[in-house]
A and B are shown apart, each in its own frame.
Chain A
Amino acid sequence: DTEVTQTPKHLVMGMTNKKSLKCEQHMGHRAMYWYKQKAKKPPELMFVYSYEKLSINESVPSRFSPECPNSSLLNLHLHALQPEDSALYLCASSVRTGSLDSLTTQYFGPGTRLTVL
Protein backbone atom coordinates (compact mmCIF):
# COMPACT_ATOMS: atom_id res chain seq x y z
CA ASP A 1 0.00 0.00 0.00
CA THR A 2 1.50 3.32 -1.10
CA GLU A 3 -1.23 5.62 0.14
CA VAL A 4 -0.79 9.11 1.47
CA THR A 5 -4.01 10.81 2.58
CA GLN A 6 -4.63 14.54 2.91
CA THR A 7 -7.47 16.46 4.51
CA PRO A 8 -9.34 18.55 3.73
CA LYS A 9 -9.67 18.17 -0.03
CA HIS A 10 -10.66 21.82 -0.43
CA LEU A 11 -10.23 24.78 1.92
CA VAL A 12 -11.38 28.36 1.58
CA MET A 13 -10.10 30.83 4.14
CA GLY A 14 -9.90 34.54 4.75
CA MET A 15 -6.66 36.37 5.28
CA THR A 16 -7.21 36.60 9.04
CA ASN A 17 -8.13 32.96 9.56
CA LYS A 18 -6.05 30.20 11.10
CA LYS A 19 -6.41 26.76 9.56
CA SER A 20 -4.43 23.54 9.29
CA LEU A 21 -3.77 20.99 6.58
CA LYS A 22 -3.27 17.38 7.55
CA CYS A 23 -1.30 14.60 5.92
CA GLU A 24 -1.15 10.98 7.03
CA GLN A 25 0.68 7.85 5.89
CA HIS A 26 0.89 4.38 7.39
CA MET A 27 3.71 2.98 5.27
CA GLY A 28 6.34 3.39 7.98
CA HIS A 29 8.00 6.20 6.03
CA ARG A 30 10.16 8.47 8.17
CA ALA A 31 10.61 11.32 5.64
CA MET A 32 7.67 13.58 4.85
CA TYR A 33 7.40 16.58 2.56
CA TRP A 34 5.20 19.58 1.84
CA TYR A 35 5.05 20.95 -1.70
CA LYS A 36 3.16 23.92 -3.10
CA GLN A 37 1.84 23.80 -6.66
CA LYS A 38 0.46 26.83 -8.45
CA ALA A 39 -1.77 26.37 -11.50
CA LYS A 40 0.07 25.09 -14.59
CA LYS A 41 3.37 24.94 -12.67
CA PRO A 42 5.42 22.08 -11.20
CA PRO A 43 5.39 21.40 -7.48
CA GLU A 44 7.86 23.41 -5.39
CA LEU A 45 9.31 22.02 -2.20
CA MET A 46 8.46 23.84 1.02
CA PHE A 47 9.59 21.60 3.89
CA VAL A 48 11.18 18.22 4.56
CA TYR A 49 10.86 16.32 7.83
CA SER A 50 13.23 13.49 8.60
CA TYR A 51 12.55 11.34 11.66
CA GLU A 52 10.01 13.93 12.80
CA LYS A 53 12.61 16.73 12.71
CA LEU A 54 12.62 19.57 10.23
CA SER A 55 15.56 19.02 7.90
CA ILE A 56 14.84 21.37 4.99
CA ASN A 57 12.99 24.69 4.97
CA GLU A 58 13.05 26.26 1.54
CA SER A 59 12.85 29.84 2.89
CA VAL A 60 9.11 29.61 3.32
CA PRO A 61 7.35 32.62 4.95
CA SER A 62 6.53 32.21 8.63
CA ARG A 63 2.80 32.33 7.95
CA PHE A 64 3.29 28.65 7.02
CA SER A 65 4.19 26.58 10.06
CA PRO A 66 4.84 22.85 9.66
CA GLU A 67 4.54 20.29 12.43
CA CYS A 68 5.31 16.59 12.58
CA PRO A 69 3.75 15.28 15.82
CA ASN A 70 4.53 11.62 15.08
CA SER A 71 5.95 9.40 12.39
CA SER A 72 2.63 9.06 10.54
CA LEU A 73 1.31 12.58 10.66
CA LEU A 74 2.36 15.88 9.12
CA ASN A 75 0.50 19.15 9.59
CA LEU A 76 0.79 22.52 7.93
CA HIS A 77 -0.57 25.37 10.04
CA LEU A 78 -1.71 28.44 8.13
CA HIS A 79 -2.12 31.94 9.52
CA ALA A 80 -2.53 35.36 7.92
CA LEU A 81 -2.20 34.03 4.40
CA GLN A 82 -2.29 36.16 1.28
CA PRO A 83 -4.38 35.56 -1.86
CA GLU A 84 -1.18 34.61 -3.72
CA ASP A 85 -0.87 31.63 -1.36
CA SER A 86 -3.83 30.04 -3.10
CA ALA A 87 -2.54 26.79 -4.59
CA LEU A 88 -2.62 23.01 -4.40
CA TYR A 89 -0.66 21.81 -1.36
CA LEU A 90 0.81 18.36 -1.79
CA CYS A 91 2.19 16.06 0.85
CA ALA A 92 4.62 13.26 0.07
CA SER A 93 6.54 10.62 1.99
CA SER A 94 9.49 8.31 1.48
CA VAL A 95 11.51 5.79 3.44
CA ARG A 96 14.47 7.07 5.41
CA THR A 97 16.73 4.00 5.44
CA GLY A 98 17.74 1.51 2.80
CA SER A 99 19.00 1.81 -0.74
CA LEU A 100 19.22 5.09 -2.59
CA ASP A 101 16.53 3.70 -4.82
CA SER A 102 14.02 3.67 -1.98
CA LEU A 103 15.32 6.80 -0.26
CA THR A 104 14.71 8.94 -3.31
CA THR A 105 11.26 7.63 -4.25
CA GLN A 106 8.45 9.85 -3.00
CA TYR A 107 4.76 8.97 -2.86
CA PHE A 108 2.28 11.81 -3.08
CA GLY A 109 -1.13 12.42 -1.60
CA PRO A 110 -4.06 13.87 -3.57
CA GLY A 111 -3.47 17.39 -2.30
CA THR A 112 -5.50 20.13 -0.62
CA ARG A 113 -6.82 22.86 -2.90
CA LEU A 114 -6.47 26.09 -0.88
CA THR A 115 -8.20 29.35 -1.78
CA VAL A 116 -7.38 32.50 0.18
CA LEU A 117 -9.92 35.29 -0.12
Chain B
Amino acid sequence: AQSVTQLGSHVSVSEGALVLLRCNYSSSVPPYLFWYVQYPNQGLQLLLKYTSAATLVKGINGFEAEFKKSETSFHLTKPSAHMSDAAEYFCAVSDGVDSSYKLIFGSGTRLLVRP
Protein backbone atom coordinates (compact mmCIF):
# COMPACT_ATOMS: atom_id res chain seq x y z
CA ALA B 1 0.00 0.00 0.00
CA GLN B 2 1.10 3.53 -0.73
CA SER B 3 1.94 5.90 2.10
CA VAL B 4 3.67 9.20 2.78
CA THR B 5 5.49 10.43 5.85
CA GLN B 6 5.97 14.08 6.65
CA LEU B 7 8.82 14.78 9.02
CA GLY B 8 8.07 17.56 11.47
CA SER B 9 4.55 18.51 12.47
CA HIS B 10 5.67 22.14 12.85
CA VAL B 11 8.33 24.09 11.00
CA SER B 12 9.17 27.67 11.97
CA VAL B 13 11.18 30.01 9.75
CA SER B 14 11.90 33.71 9.64
CA GLU B 15 10.45 35.83 6.88
CA GLY B 16 12.86 35.73 3.95
CA ALA B 17 14.45 32.43 5.00
CA LEU B 18 14.45 29.17 3.07
CA VAL B 19 11.42 26.93 3.53
CA LEU B 20 12.01 23.16 3.50
CA LEU B 21 9.14 20.77 4.21
CA ARG B 22 9.98 17.09 4.09
CA CYS B 23 8.00 14.26 2.56
CA ASN B 24 9.02 10.64 2.05
CA TYR B 25 6.88 8.14 0.24
CA SER B 26 6.47 4.41 0.15
CA SER B 27 5.22 2.97 -3.09
CA SER B 28 5.57 -0.29 -5.00
CA VAL B 29 4.88 1.43 -8.30
CA PRO B 30 5.96 4.78 -9.75
CA PRO B 31 4.11 7.23 -7.54
CA TYR B 32 2.03 10.26 -8.34
CA LEU B 33 2.84 12.76 -5.62
CA PHE B 34 1.19 16.02 -4.63
CA TRP B 35 1.64 18.93 -2.28
CA TYR B 36 -1.47 20.73 -1.07
CA VAL B 37 -1.73 23.83 1.12
CA GLN B 38 -4.57 24.55 3.53
CA TYR B 39 -5.07 28.01 4.98
CA PRO B 40 -7.10 28.30 8.20
CA ASN B 41 -10.77 27.40 7.76
CA GLN B 42 -10.34 26.74 4.05
CA GLY B 43 -10.18 23.78 1.70
CA LEU B 44 -7.06 22.33 0.09
CA GLN B 45 -5.30 24.10 -2.75
CA LEU B 46 -3.03 22.19 -5.11
CA LEU B 47 0.51 23.59 -4.95
CA LEU B 48 2.23 21.20 -7.33
CA LYS B 49 2.37 17.60 -8.48
CA TYR B 50 4.88 15.04 -9.67
CA THR B 51 3.70 12.79 -12.47
CA SER B 52 7.02 11.49 -13.86
CA ALA B 53 7.47 14.15 -16.55
CA ALA B 54 10.27 15.99 -14.70
CA THR B 55 11.97 15.44 -11.36
CA LEU B 56 12.02 19.14 -10.45
CA VAL B 57 8.48 20.45 -10.28
CA LYS B 58 7.56 24.09 -10.03
CA GLY B 59 4.30 25.10 -8.42
CA ILE B 60 2.36 28.16 -7.47
CA ASN B 61 3.46 30.90 -5.07
CA GLY B 62 7.18 30.25 -5.71
CA PHE B 63 7.20 26.69 -4.34
CA GLU B 64 9.00 23.80 -5.96
CA ALA B 65 9.69 20.18 -5.13
CA GLU B 66 12.24 17.66 -6.29
CA PHE B 67 11.45 13.98 -6.76
CA LYS B 68 14.39 11.79 -5.68
CA LYS B 69 13.74 8.14 -6.32
CA SER B 70 16.94 6.98 -4.58
CA GLU B 71 15.83 8.72 -1.39
CA THR B 72 12.07 8.11 -1.89
CA SER B 73 11.59 11.79 -1.16
CA PHE B 74 9.56 14.68 -2.51
CA HIS B 75 10.56 17.64 -0.36
CA LEU B 76 8.91 21.04 -0.82
CA THR B 77 11.05 24.18 -0.89
CA LYS B 78 10.73 27.92 -1.32
CA PRO B 79 13.80 30.18 -1.39
CA SER B 80 12.30 33.02 0.62
CA ALA B 81 9.39 32.68 3.04
CA HIS B 82 6.61 35.22 3.12
CA MET B 83 4.21 35.84 5.98
CA SER B 84 1.37 34.73 3.72
CA ASP B 85 2.95 31.25 3.44
CA ALA B 86 1.90 30.41 7.00
CA ALA B 87 -0.47 27.47 6.59
CA GLU B 88 -0.77 23.68 6.85
CA TYR B 89 0.96 21.72 4.10
CA PHE B 90 0.03 18.18 3.12
CA CYS B 91 2.01 15.78 1.01
CA ALA B 92 -0.12 13.12 -0.69
CA VAL B 93 0.30 10.07 -2.91
CA SER B 94 -2.30 8.77 -5.32
CA ASP B 95 -3.42 5.19 -4.89
CA GLY B 96 -5.37 3.50 -7.64
CA VAL B 97 -8.13 1.07 -6.79
CA ASP B 98 -10.14 -0.50 -9.60
CA SER B 99 -9.38 2.49 -11.82
CA SER B 100 -10.54 4.92 -9.16
CA TYR B 101 -7.86 6.99 -7.52
CA LYS B 102 -7.78 8.16 -3.95
CA LEU B 103 -5.30 10.40 -2.21
CA ILE B 104 -3.36 9.15 0.79
CA PHE B 105 -2.25 12.13 2.85
CA GLY B 106 0.66 12.60 5.18
CA SER B 107 -0.02 13.92 8.66
CA GLY B 108 0.68 17.50 7.62
CA THR B 109 3.25 20.15 8.52
CA ARG B 110 2.26 23.51 9.94
CA LEU B 111 4.52 26.26 8.63
CA LEU B 112 4.99 29.24 10.93
CA VAL B 113 6.66 32.37 9.54
CA ARG B 114 8.22 34.76 12.04
CA PRO B 115 8.49 38.46 11.16
Contact = CB atoms under 8 A, between A and B. Distances in A.
Interface of A: 2, 4, 6, 31, 33, 40-45, 48, 50, 55-56, 90, 92, 94, 99-101, 103-111, 113
B14 interface: no
Interface string B91-113: 00010111111110111100000
Interface residues of B, number: 26
Given A31-B100, A100-B32, 10 more contacts: A6-B43, A41-B108, A48-B100, A94-B101, A104-B32, A104-B96, A105-B34, A105-B46, A108-B36, A111-B43
Contacts of B99: 50
A106 B49 CA distance: 11
A100 to B, nearest CB: 7
Contact of A45 (B44, B90, B102): B102
Task: Tell me the interface secondary structure of chain B in the complex.
Answer: strand
A24 B49 CA distance: 24
CB-CB nearest 5 A-B residue pairs: A42-B105, A104-B94, A101-B51, A108-B44, A110-B43
B106 A55 contact: no
B32 A45 contact: no
Interface of B: 32, 34, 36, 41-46, 49, 51, 53, 90, 94, 96-103, 105-108
A104 B34 CA distance: 9
B24 to A, nearest CB: 15
B96 to A, nearest CB: 8
B101 A104 contact: yes
